[in-house]
């Protein structure tokens, strides 16, 4: 066992770090990022969105990459805060501050209206007959060009 660890310590270290990083990314991906009370990862995500908008208009690649890195540092801080709150007995689990049912803005049914029939039919790609007509017209045009 010791000989195996001595021989493969670097591979074991890389696999362990990779596994930790993948679990971290999976947690961040699974948690909600939009909440009216700005709980959990929501502040980090909104800050990243603001920064990405700012840096992308300036074509600043380093700023974009820095913003993404800062957001992941913020996500890690939120996770660390959850562990701290859990150890102090302020929440039931270490992930209670970032895995929750988000509160989002709900539009009442009477304030929204359904899509019009014209808008629903506006997508020409859904019409199989028109697709067939387009294909037949294309074939006819190709045949005419080869006949010339």
Structure tokens at 43: 């502040």
> What is the mean pLDDT of the segment spanning 25-29?
94
Q: Which helix (H) or strand (E) holds 144?
A: helix 128-147
Tell me how long the chain is. 148
> What is the mean pLDDT of the segment spanning 53-76?
93
How confident is the model over 97-134, as pLDDT tens digits? 999 888 888 878 777 787 777 777 776 665 555 556 66
Spell out a b/e string for 112-143, using b for 16 or more CB atoms within 10 Å of the CB, else e. Answer: eeeeeeeeeeeeeeeeeeeeeeeeeeeeeeee
Mean pLDDT of the chain: 86
Contact 68, 76 (CB under 8 A): no
User: Does residue 23 register a pLDDT over 90?
Assistant: yes
Structure tokens at 80: 């660390």
How confident is the model over 2-11, as pLDDT tens digits? 888 889 999 9
């Amino acid at each position: 066992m010791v000989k195996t660890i001595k021989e493969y310590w670097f591979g074991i270290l890389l696999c362990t770090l990779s596994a930790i990083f993948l679990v971290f990314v999976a947690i961040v991906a699974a948690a909600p990022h939009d909440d009216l009370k700005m709980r959990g990862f929501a502040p980090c995500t909104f800050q990243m969105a603001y920064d990405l908008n700012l840096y992308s208009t300036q074509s600043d690649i380093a700023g974009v990459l820095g913003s993404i890195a800062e957001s992941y540092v913020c996500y890690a801080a939120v996770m660390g805060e959850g562990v701290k709150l859990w150890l102090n007995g302020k929440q039931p689990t270490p992930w209670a501050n970032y895995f929750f049912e988000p509160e989002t803005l709900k539009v009442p049914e009477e304030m929204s209206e359904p899509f019009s029939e014209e808008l629903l039919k506006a997508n020409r790609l859904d019409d199989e007959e028109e697709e067939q007509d387009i294909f037949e017209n294309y074939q006819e045009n190709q045949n005419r060009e080869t006949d010339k």
